[in-house]
Amino acid sequence: MASLYVDYHPEVEQPIDDEQQIIADILASMQRLDQRTHQMYGQHVRVSHGKSHGLAVGQLTVSDKLPTHLAQGLFAKPATYPIIVRLANVPGEITTDAVNTQRGFSFKVLNVEGLMIDSHLGQTTQDFVLDTGTTFGAPDAKAFFIQHRALMEYAPKIPASVKEVVSDLSRVTNEALNAVGLNSPKLDFFGSSRIHPLAEAYYSQAAIRYGQYIAKLAVVPVSPAQKDLAEHQVAIDGDKDPNALRTATVSYLRDHDAEFEVRVQLCTDLTQMPVEDTSVEWDQEKSPYLTVGKLRLPKQDAYSPARQHYVDSLSFSVAHTLADHRPLGSLMRARLVAYPAMAQLRRQGNHQLTAEPVSIDEVPA
Protein backbone atom coordinates (compact mmCIF):
# COMPACT_ATOMS: atom_id res chain seq x y z
CA MET A 1 0.00 0.00 0.00
CA ALA A 2 2.77 2.43 0.92
CA SER A 3 4.30 2.14 -2.56
CA LEU A 4 1.29 4.05 -3.91
CA TYR A 5 2.56 7.22 -2.24
CA VAL A 6 5.38 9.56 -3.19
CA ASP A 7 8.38 9.37 -0.87
CA TYR A 8 9.61 12.61 0.64
CA HIS A 9 13.10 13.73 -0.32
CA PRO A 10 14.52 17.28 -0.34
CA GLU A 11 14.45 17.41 -4.16
CA VAL A 12 10.63 17.48 -4.19
CA GLU A 13 11.05 21.22 -3.55
CA GLN A 14 12.27 23.35 -6.44
CA PRO A 15 12.99 26.96 -5.36
CA ILE A 16 13.18 29.55 -8.12
CA ASP A 17 16.31 31.67 -8.61
CA ASP A 18 15.02 34.92 -7.08
CA GLU A 19 13.04 33.30 -4.26
CA GLN A 20 15.04 34.79 -1.39
CA GLN A 21 14.41 38.29 -2.74
CA ILE A 22 10.72 37.52 -3.15
CA ILE A 23 10.54 36.35 0.46
CA ALA A 24 12.32 39.50 1.60
CA ASP A 25 9.81 41.57 -0.39
CA ILE A 26 6.89 39.70 1.22
CA LEU A 27 8.30 40.37 4.68
CA ALA A 28 8.76 44.07 3.89
CA SER A 29 5.19 44.27 2.60
CA MET A 30 3.88 42.63 5.76
CA GLN A 31 5.87 45.04 7.89
CA ARG A 32 4.28 47.97 6.06
CA LEU A 33 0.85 46.45 6.64
CA ASP A 34 1.70 46.06 10.32
CA GLN A 35 2.61 49.75 10.54
CA ARG A 36 -0.69 50.76 8.96
CA THR A 37 -2.88 48.54 11.13
CA HIS A 38 -0.92 49.61 14.21
CA GLN A 39 -1.91 53.18 13.43
CA MET A 40 -5.53 52.10 12.98
CA TYR A 41 -5.92 49.99 16.12
CA GLY A 42 -3.28 51.39 18.47
CA GLN A 43 -1.63 47.98 18.78
CA HIS A 44 0.09 45.42 16.60
CA VAL A 45 -2.28 42.81 15.17
CA ARG A 46 -1.55 39.65 13.22
CA VAL A 47 -0.98 40.31 9.52
CA SER A 48 -2.96 37.12 8.95
CA HIS A 49 -5.78 35.77 11.12
CA GLY A 50 -6.09 39.17 12.73
CA LYS A 51 -9.50 38.78 14.40
CA SER A 52 -9.96 35.88 16.81
CA HIS A 53 -13.32 34.20 17.41
CA GLY A 54 -12.26 31.96 20.26
CA LEU A 55 -9.44 30.23 22.11
CA ALA A 56 -10.14 26.69 23.29
CA VAL A 57 -8.21 23.92 24.99
CA GLY A 58 -8.66 20.21 24.43
CA GLN A 59 -6.96 17.01 23.38
CA LEU A 60 -5.54 15.42 20.27
CA THR A 61 -5.83 11.63 20.32
CA VAL A 62 -3.76 9.81 17.73
CA SER A 63 -5.56 6.78 16.32
CA ASP A 64 -4.22 3.36 17.19
CA LYS A 65 -3.41 0.58 14.72
CA LEU A 66 -2.71 3.01 11.87
CA PRO A 67 -1.12 1.41 8.80
CA THR A 68 2.51 2.30 8.14
CA HIS A 69 1.77 4.98 5.52
CA LEU A 70 -0.38 6.86 8.07
CA ALA A 71 1.68 6.14 11.20
CA GLN A 72 4.20 8.89 10.52
CA GLY A 73 5.70 11.80 12.47
CA LEU A 74 3.46 13.00 15.28
CA PHE A 75 1.00 10.26 14.34
CA ALA A 76 3.54 7.41 14.43
CA LYS A 77 2.13 5.86 17.60
CA PRO A 78 -1.05 6.12 19.70
CA ALA A 79 -0.90 9.02 22.13
CA THR A 80 -2.95 11.81 23.65
CA TYR A 81 -1.68 15.38 23.65
CA PRO A 82 -3.03 18.63 25.14
CA ILE A 83 -3.86 21.21 22.47
CA ILE A 84 -4.65 24.91 22.20
CA VAL A 85 -6.99 25.92 19.37
CA ARG A 86 -7.59 29.39 17.93
CA LEU A 87 -10.43 30.18 15.54
CA ALA A 88 -10.15 33.41 13.57
CA ASN A 89 -10.83 35.34 10.40
CA VAL A 90 -8.06 35.05 7.80
CA PRO A 91 -7.37 38.73 6.92
CA GLY A 92 -4.88 40.75 8.91
CA GLU A 93 -7.34 43.33 10.15
CA ILE A 94 -10.22 43.60 12.60
CA THR A 95 -13.43 44.17 10.71
CA THR A 96 -17.14 43.43 10.93
CA ASP A 97 -18.21 39.84 10.36
CA ALA A 98 -20.57 41.08 7.65
CA VAL A 99 -17.42 40.78 5.52
CA ASN A 100 -17.43 37.02 4.93
CA THR A 101 -13.80 36.13 4.37
CA GLN A 102 -12.21 32.73 4.85
CA ARG A 103 -11.85 31.47 8.41
CA GLY A 104 -8.84 29.97 10.14
CA PHE A 105 -8.39 27.11 12.60
CA SER A 106 -4.94 26.76 14.15
CA PHE A 107 -4.00 24.22 16.78
CA LYS A 108 -0.91 23.94 18.92
CA VAL A 109 0.06 20.48 20.18
CA LEU A 110 2.00 20.45 23.48
CA ASN A 111 4.48 17.95 24.96
CA VAL A 112 5.70 16.80 21.55
CA GLU A 113 8.87 14.73 21.35
CA GLY A 114 11.11 14.39 18.31
CA LEU A 115 13.52 16.30 16.10
CA MET A 116 12.32 19.83 15.33
CA ILE A 117 13.38 21.96 12.38
CA ASP A 118 16.45 24.08 13.12
CA SER A 119 14.54 27.24 14.05
CA HIS A 120 12.39 25.33 16.56
CA LEU A 121 15.07 23.24 18.26
CA GLY A 122 14.60 22.87 22.00
CA GLN A 123 10.83 23.43 21.78
CA THR A 124 8.05 20.90 22.42
CA THR A 125 5.17 22.31 20.35
CA GLN A 126 3.79 21.35 16.96
CA ASP A 127 1.51 23.85 15.21
CA PHE A 128 -0.86 23.28 12.30
CA VAL A 129 -2.30 26.40 10.64
CA LEU A 130 -5.45 25.69 8.62
CA ASP A 131 -8.05 27.66 6.67
CA THR A 132 -11.38 26.99 5.01
CA GLY A 133 -10.93 25.93 1.38
CA THR A 134 -8.79 23.09 0.06
CA THR A 135 -6.51 25.31 -2.03
CA PHE A 136 -4.78 28.67 -1.66
CA GLY A 137 -5.65 31.65 -3.86
CA ALA A 138 -2.07 32.14 -5.09
CA PRO A 139 0.05 29.33 -6.58
CA ASP A 140 3.38 30.39 -5.06
CA ALA A 141 5.27 33.04 -3.12
CA LYS A 142 5.78 35.29 -6.15
CA ALA A 143 2.08 35.40 -6.97
CA PHE A 144 1.25 35.88 -3.29
CA PHE A 145 3.57 38.88 -3.09
CA ILE A 146 1.88 40.52 -6.07
CA GLN A 147 -1.55 39.95 -4.49
CA HIS A 148 -0.41 41.09 -1.05
CA ARG A 149 1.12 44.29 -2.36
CA ALA A 150 -1.90 45.09 -4.52
CA LEU A 151 -4.62 44.20 -2.03
CA MET A 152 -3.59 43.65 1.55
CA GLU A 153 -1.70 46.91 1.92
CA TYR A 154 -4.72 48.89 0.69
CA ALA A 155 -7.52 46.81 2.18
CA PRO A 156 -7.47 48.75 5.49
CA LYS A 157 -8.29 51.94 3.53
CA ILE A 158 -11.44 50.46 1.99
CA PRO A 159 -14.65 51.30 3.92
CA ALA A 160 -16.33 48.35 5.61
CA SER A 161 -19.54 49.01 3.66
CA VAL A 162 -17.68 48.48 0.37
CA LYS A 163 -16.05 45.31 1.70
CA GLU A 164 -19.48 43.96 2.64
CA VAL A 165 -20.76 44.47 -0.91
CA VAL A 166 -17.69 42.78 -2.42
CA SER A 167 -17.98 39.94 0.09
CA ASP A 168 -21.66 39.30 -0.63
CA LEU A 169 -21.13 39.42 -4.40
CA SER A 170 -18.15 37.05 -4.18
CA ARG A 171 -20.05 34.63 -1.96
CA VAL A 172 -23.12 34.50 -4.20
CA THR A 173 -20.99 34.10 -7.34
CA ASN A 174 -18.97 31.27 -5.81
CA GLU A 175 -22.15 29.53 -4.61
CA ALA A 176 -23.34 29.57 -8.22
CA LEU A 177 -20.04 28.05 -9.33
CA ASN A 178 -20.28 25.41 -6.60
CA ALA A 179 -23.73 24.44 -7.88
CA VAL A 180 -22.19 23.36 -11.19
CA GLY A 181 -19.19 21.65 -9.61
CA LEU A 182 -16.73 24.55 -9.86
CA ASN A 183 -14.98 26.72 -7.30
CA SER A 184 -12.84 29.87 -7.21
CA PRO A 185 -10.29 30.13 -4.38
CA LYS A 186 -10.15 33.91 -4.84
CA LEU A 187 -13.94 34.30 -4.60
CA ASP A 188 -13.92 31.93 -1.64
CA PHE A 189 -11.38 34.17 0.12
CA PHE A 190 -13.41 37.36 -0.41
CA GLY A 191 -16.85 35.83 0.08
CA SER A 192 -16.62 32.71 2.20
CA SER A 193 -19.72 30.91 3.44
CA ARG A 194 -21.81 32.02 6.37
CA ILE A 195 -21.55 28.53 7.90
CA HIS A 196 -21.06 28.23 11.65
CA PRO A 197 -17.29 28.17 12.44
CA LEU A 198 -17.58 24.86 14.30
CA ALA A 199 -19.41 23.23 11.36
CA GLU A 200 -16.63 24.05 8.88
CA ALA A 201 -13.81 21.83 7.67
CA TYR A 202 -10.34 23.39 7.65
CA TYR A 203 -7.33 22.55 5.46
CA SER A 204 -3.57 23.14 5.35
CA GLN A 205 -4.04 24.11 1.65
CA ALA A 206 -0.30 23.68 1.13
CA ALA A 207 1.75 20.51 1.42
CA ILE A 208 3.74 19.38 4.43
CA ARG A 209 6.16 16.55 4.95
CA TYR A 210 4.38 13.59 6.49
CA GLY A 211 7.29 11.56 7.78
CA GLN A 212 8.34 9.35 4.89
CA TYR A 213 5.68 10.89 2.65
CA ILE A 214 4.06 14.18 1.55
CA ALA A 215 0.57 15.26 2.54
CA LYS A 216 -2.05 17.90 3.09
CA LEU A 217 -3.86 17.96 6.43
CA ALA A 218 -7.46 18.72 7.40
CA VAL A 219 -9.70 18.84 10.46
CA VAL A 220 -13.34 17.91 9.86
CA PRO A 221 -16.22 18.33 12.36
CA VAL A 222 -17.80 15.01 13.33
CA SER A 223 -19.93 15.40 16.48
CA PRO A 224 -23.72 15.06 15.98
CA ALA A 225 -24.31 18.63 17.15
CA GLN A 226 -21.76 20.03 14.68
CA LYS A 227 -23.16 17.92 11.84
CA ASP A 228 -26.61 19.22 12.72
CA LEU A 229 -25.36 22.80 12.31
CA ALA A 230 -24.05 21.95 8.85
CA GLU A 231 -27.03 19.86 7.69
CA HIS A 232 -29.49 22.56 8.69
CA GLN A 233 -27.19 25.21 7.24
CA VAL A 234 -27.25 27.27 10.40
CA ALA A 235 -26.03 30.60 9.06
CA ILE A 236 -24.10 33.30 10.87
CA ASP A 237 -25.45 36.76 10.13
CA GLY A 238 -22.73 39.37 10.46
CA ASP A 239 -25.14 42.06 9.28
CA LYS A 240 -26.86 41.97 12.68
CA ASP A 241 -23.83 41.26 14.87
CA PRO A 242 -20.38 42.58 13.86
CA ASN A 243 -18.84 39.83 16.00
CA ALA A 244 -21.27 37.10 14.92
CA LEU A 245 -18.58 34.45 14.39
CA ARG A 246 -17.23 35.01 17.90
CA THR A 247 -20.72 34.96 19.36
CA ALA A 248 -21.46 31.68 17.57
CA THR A 249 -18.17 30.06 18.63
CA VAL A 250 -18.45 31.07 22.28
CA SER A 251 -22.14 30.14 22.50
CA TYR A 252 -21.58 26.70 21.01
CA LEU A 253 -18.64 25.78 23.24
CA ARG A 254 -20.46 27.02 26.31
CA ASP A 255 -23.15 24.35 25.77
CA HIS A 256 -21.50 21.60 23.68
CA ASP A 257 -18.32 19.61 23.22
CA ALA A 258 -16.75 19.86 19.76
CA GLU A 259 -15.05 16.99 17.96
CA PHE A 260 -13.02 16.97 14.77
CA GLU A 261 -11.27 14.19 12.90
CA VAL A 262 -7.71 14.92 11.81
CA ARG A 263 -7.25 13.63 8.27
CA VAL A 264 -4.35 13.53 5.82
CA GLN A 265 -4.31 13.36 2.03
CA LEU A 266 -1.14 11.65 0.82
CA CYS A 267 0.52 12.70 -2.42
CA THR A 268 0.45 9.98 -5.09
CA ASP A 269 1.78 11.96 -8.09
CA LEU A 270 3.94 15.11 -7.94
CA THR A 271 2.74 16.18 -11.39
CA GLN A 272 -0.95 16.08 -10.56
CA MET A 273 -0.45 16.88 -6.87
CA PRO A 274 2.31 19.50 -6.98
CA VAL A 275 4.17 20.73 -3.95
CA GLU A 276 5.17 24.07 -5.48
CA ASP A 277 1.68 25.18 -6.67
CA THR A 278 -0.82 25.62 -3.83
CA SER A 279 -3.65 26.61 -6.19
CA VAL A 280 -3.94 23.07 -7.61
CA GLU A 281 -6.61 20.82 -6.14
CA TRP A 282 -5.34 17.38 -5.12
CA ASP A 283 -7.86 14.90 -6.52
CA GLN A 284 -9.62 13.24 -3.58
CA GLU A 285 -10.77 10.35 -5.75
CA LYS A 286 -7.13 9.44 -6.39
CA SER A 287 -6.10 10.06 -2.80
CA PRO A 288 -8.90 10.58 -0.25
CA TYR A 289 -8.39 12.21 3.12
CA LEU A 290 -7.76 9.46 5.71
CA THR A 291 -8.32 9.75 9.45
CA VAL A 292 -5.26 9.70 11.74
CA GLY A 293 -6.64 11.20 14.95
CA LYS A 294 -9.35 13.14 16.68
CA LEU A 295 -9.51 16.58 18.30
CA ARG A 296 -11.89 17.06 21.22
CA LEU A 297 -12.77 20.42 22.75
CA PRO A 298 -14.87 20.06 25.93
CA LYS A 299 -17.43 22.66 26.95
CA GLN A 300 -15.69 25.84 28.12
CA ASP A 301 -15.66 29.62 28.01
CA ALA A 302 -13.71 30.08 24.79
CA TYR A 303 -13.30 33.86 24.99
CA SER A 304 -13.16 34.92 28.62
CA PRO A 305 -11.46 38.28 29.29
CA ALA A 306 -8.33 36.42 30.43
CA ARG A 307 -8.26 34.35 27.26
CA GLN A 308 -8.78 37.42 25.08
CA HIS A 309 -5.57 38.81 26.54
CA TYR A 310 -3.74 35.50 26.38
CA VAL A 311 -4.53 34.69 22.74
CA ASP A 312 -2.89 37.92 21.59
CA SER A 313 0.41 36.80 23.09
CA LEU A 314 0.40 33.40 21.36
CA SER A 315 2.06 32.59 18.06
CA PHE A 316 0.57 29.90 15.84
CA SER A 317 3.18 29.28 13.18
CA VAL A 318 4.08 26.80 10.47
CA ALA A 319 7.64 27.26 11.77
CA HIS A 320 6.72 25.50 15.02
CA THR A 321 7.15 22.01 13.69
CA LEU A 322 8.80 18.66 13.79
CA ALA A 323 11.20 17.97 10.96
CA ASP A 324 8.80 15.18 9.99
CA HIS A 325 6.12 17.81 9.27
CA ARG A 326 8.26 20.48 7.62
CA PRO A 327 6.14 22.80 5.44
CA LEU A 328 6.83 22.30 1.73
CA GLY A 329 6.68 24.48 -1.37
CA SER A 330 7.25 28.09 -2.30
CA LEU A 331 4.45 29.60 -0.24
CA MET A 332 5.41 27.59 2.85
CA ARG A 333 9.08 28.53 2.55
CA ALA A 334 7.99 32.17 2.64
CA ARG A 335 5.84 31.48 5.68
CA LEU A 336 8.76 29.83 7.46
CA VAL A 337 10.52 33.21 7.34
CA ALA A 338 7.57 35.60 7.65
CA TYR A 339 5.59 33.96 10.46
CA PRO A 340 8.35 34.05 13.13
CA ALA A 341 9.51 37.54 12.12
CA MET A 342 6.02 39.05 12.24
CA ALA A 343 5.14 37.26 15.48
CA GLN A 344 8.25 38.67 17.12
CA LEU A 345 7.46 42.18 15.84
CA ARG A 346 3.87 41.96 17.06
CA ARG A 347 4.57 40.54 20.50
CA GLN A 348 7.58 42.68 21.28
CA GLY A 349 5.73 45.78 20.05
CA ASN A 350 2.82 44.94 22.36
CA HIS A 351 5.20 44.12 25.26
CA GLN A 352 4.04 40.50 25.42
CA LEU A 353 5.83 37.31 26.35
CA THR A 354 7.36 35.47 23.41
CA ALA A 355 7.98 32.01 24.90
CA GLU A 356 6.11 28.95 23.69
CA PRO A 357 3.73 27.42 26.26
CA VAL A 358 5.02 24.28 27.93
CA SER A 359 1.85 23.34 29.85
CA ILE A 360 -1.87 23.57 29.17
CA ASP A 361 -2.18 25.03 32.67
CA GLU A 362 -0.76 28.28 31.29
CA VAL A 363 -4.02 28.89 29.41
CA PRO A 364 -6.36 30.89 31.68
CA ALA A 365 -9.92 29.75 32.32
Question: What are the structural domains, with CATH classification, of the chain?
Answer: 2-355 (2.40.180.10)
Q: What are 116's strand-pairing partners?
A: 322
CA gap 84, 87 in Å, rounded: 10
Give phi and psi for 52, each to the nearest 5: -85, 145
CA distances from 282 to 101, 129, 274, 302, 348 (A): 23, 18, 8, 34, 39
Tell me which residue of 103, 56, 139, 329 sits closest to 216, measured CA to CA: 329
**pLDDT at residue 271, as a whole number:** 97
Tell me which residue of 142, 112, 144, 145 sits closest to 128, measured CA to CA: 112
Tell me which residue of 62, 61, 99, 57 sits closest to 77, measured CA to CA: 62
**pLDDT at residue 261, as a whole number:** 98
**pLDDT at residue 46, as a whole number:** 95
**pLDDT at residue 234, as a whole number:** 59
**pLDDT at residue 237, as a whole number:** 74
CB atoms within 10 A of CB 284: 10
CA gap 190, 192 in Å, rounded: 6
pLDDT one digit per residue (tens) for the chain, 365 residues: 446 999 999 999 999 999 999 999 999 999 999 999 999 999 999 999 999 999 999 999 999 999 999 999 999 999 999 999 999 999 888 988 888 789 999 999 999 999 999 999 999 999 999 999 999 999 999 999 999 887 665 555 554 444 344 334 433 444 444 454 554 554 444 444 678 999 999 999 999 999 999 999 999 999 999 999 887 765 677 678 999 999 999 999 999 999 999 999 999 999 999 999 999 999 999 999 999 999 999 999 999 999 999 999 999 999 999 999 999 999 999 999 999 999 999 999 999 989 999 999 999 99
Q: What does the H/E/C string look like for the chain?
A: CHHHCCCCCHHHCCCCCCHHHHHHHHHHHHHHHHHHHHHHHCCCCCCECCCEEEEEEEEEEECCCCCCCCCCHHHCCCCEEEEEEEEEECECCCCCCCCCCCEEEEEEECCCCCCECHHHCCCCCEEEEEECCCCCCCCCHHHHHHHHHHHHCCHHHCCHHHHHHHHHHHHHHHHHHHHCCCCCHHHHHHCCCCECHHHCCEECCCCEEECCEEEEEEEEECCHHHHHHHHCCCECCCCCCCCHHHHHHHHHHHHCCEEEEEEEEECCCCCCCCCCCCCCCCCCCCCCCEEEEEEEECCCCCCCHHHHHHHHHCCCCCCCCEHHHCECCHHHHHHHHHHHHHHHHHHHHCCCCCCCCCCHHHCCC
**pLDDT at residue 154, as a whole number:** 59
